[in-house]
Structure 1
Amino acid sequence: MSNAGQISPLRPVTRHVTGHDAAGKAIIQSSSPGQWKPFKTDDMAFAVMYTTSQFPADLNDDADVKAHEKIVQSDQLGLVNPRGTVCRIVDFGPNNKCFIHRTQSLDYGIVLEGEIEMVMEKGEPVLMQRGDVAVQRATMHGWRNPSETEWARMAFVLQDCQPLTVGGSAMKEELGTAAGFLRPSGNDQ
């Protein structure tokens, strides 16, 4: 199985997509290895496992599968998919550089391996351990692996959200130090 672009020593990930045969019975429609994209340096990489481009998703005639393949092939996907979702696996190297950013989205971040610090604008970082879930609601935040030797892995599901206004100010996407490397999502217009 390919680890294309994977830089961590963690187990490769595989995506299994289900579907139906002509008689309506559940089947595994496809299985494929994660395609990893390193982030700026060799201390972080991510793999987009699946996307949807509308909510609720349209599964008829594999419309969701076709939309996912189209957006991945276009290389235009930002952190968030406007009007849809993104499922992404991220590997964090030991003591990785933490970049603070904001997505215009509601995200679920689940620690799969190791420990991760969730860093916010105010307050002390929160140490998250395997199985912990962060519900990130369009806030400025960052992720840091505090280990000096071990890699960590998180799964993220990002969902587009309505424009957020706090205290009269629009909370727009801010990519911080990832600007120029990650594409803007374009969902905060």
Structure 2
Amino acid sequence: MGSTETSTGGQVSDLPPIRRFITTHDDATGKAKLYSQDEGQWQSLRNASVAFNVAYTTTGFPPSLNDDADITAYKETMASGDLGLVNPNGTVCRYVDFGPGSHPVMHRTQSLDYGILLEGSIEMMLDSGEVHTLRRGDVAVQRATMHAWRNPSDTEWARMIFMLQDCQPIKVGGTLLEEDIRNATEVPASRKDH
């Protein structure tokens, strides 16, 4: 595995830049207003063949939006540097850019994930050996299963956006299936309680 590099705003892919718009309320009028607009931070992994950009994360469900408590919690979580793939008891909205021919990493998160392909094509690989190709606009609903993502293109980048929601522990056939990211060594574990 390659080193982890973090860049502010800068991304490694040639895909269009993203912008994040966070809204809030005006205390005096109660009307909506823009809190911030930016490109977020990209974190490059595996020798810049994959990159993450966390659009937002919450630390509780349902989150409190009062007095911008969720924004404060988001900033604290991101500053801590220990956000795993999943935020326990919360949600994570993350962009992922996959480089041409990027090496797939088999993993499982203890979460319910919606993965929507925005650009390019992606192969969803399951530990059963099944491989399914997603095209622009397709959604994968990952339910705490072992899986990997592979960009089959030799020349084009692919981009997905993932919405991860923590879930209750999952048992299959009486066996507890926990988070398994041992092959994703650059990503911190999501759970501190196991």
Q: TM-score range by the shorter chain?
A: over 0.9
- CA distance in structure 1 between the aligned counterparts of 2:174 and 2:138, rounded to whole angstroms: 32
- 1:23-71: CA deviation from partner (whole Å, max 9, x where unpaired): 0111111101121000122211010110000000100000000000000
Equivalent residue in structure 2 for 1:17, among 19, 22, 29: 22
Equivalent residue in structure 2 for 1:29, among 28, 35, 57: 35
Equivalent residue in structure 2 for 1:132, among 124, 135, 138: 138
Could you tell me which runs of 5 or more consecutive residues in structure 2 were left unpaired when the two chains were aligned: 1-6
- 1:131-174: CA deviation from partner (whole Å, max 9, x where unpaired): 00000000000100001110000000100000001111111000
- CA distance in structure 2 between the aligned counterparts of 1:61 and 1:113, rounded to whole angstroms: 36
Structure 1 segment 49-88 matched on structure 2, within 5 A:
49-88=55-94
Runs of 4+ more than 6 Å apart: none
SS at match of 2:183: helix
- CA distance in structure 2 between the aligned counterparts of 1:27 and 1:153, rounded to whole angstroms: 29
| Structure 1 residues 150 and 188, CA gap change in structure 2 (3 angstroms) | farther
RMSD over aligned Cα, in angstroms? 1.3
Alignment partner, residue 3 of structure 2: none
What is the CA-CA distance between 1:119 and the residue it aligns to? 0.4
Question: Which AA in structure 1 matches 2:19?
Answer: T
What is the CA-CA distance between 1:188 and the residue it aligns to? 6.2
TM-score of the aligned structures, taking structure 1 as reference length: 0.95
Could you tell me which runs of 5 or more consecutive residues in structure 1 were left unpaired when the two chains were aligned: none
- CA distance in structure 2 between the aligned counterparts of 1:134 and 1:83, rounded to whole angstroms: 22
Counterpart check, 1:122 vs 2:139:
no
Higher mean C-alpha displacement, 76-85 vs 120-129: 120-129
- CA distance in structure 2 between the aligned counterparts of 1:13 and 1:115, rounded to whole angstroms: 18
What is the CA-CA distance between 1:14 and the residue it aligns to? 1.2
Structure 1 segment 157-172 matched on structure 2, within 5 A:
157-172=163-178
Contact 1:160-1:187 at 8 Å conserved across structures: no
- 1:60-90: CA deviation from partner (whole Å, max 9, x where unpaired): 0000000000000000100000000000000
| Structure 1 residues 160 and 188, CA gap change in structure 2 (3 angstroms) | farther
Alignment partner, residue 7 of structure 1: 12
Question: Which AA in structure 1 matches 2:132?
Answer: V
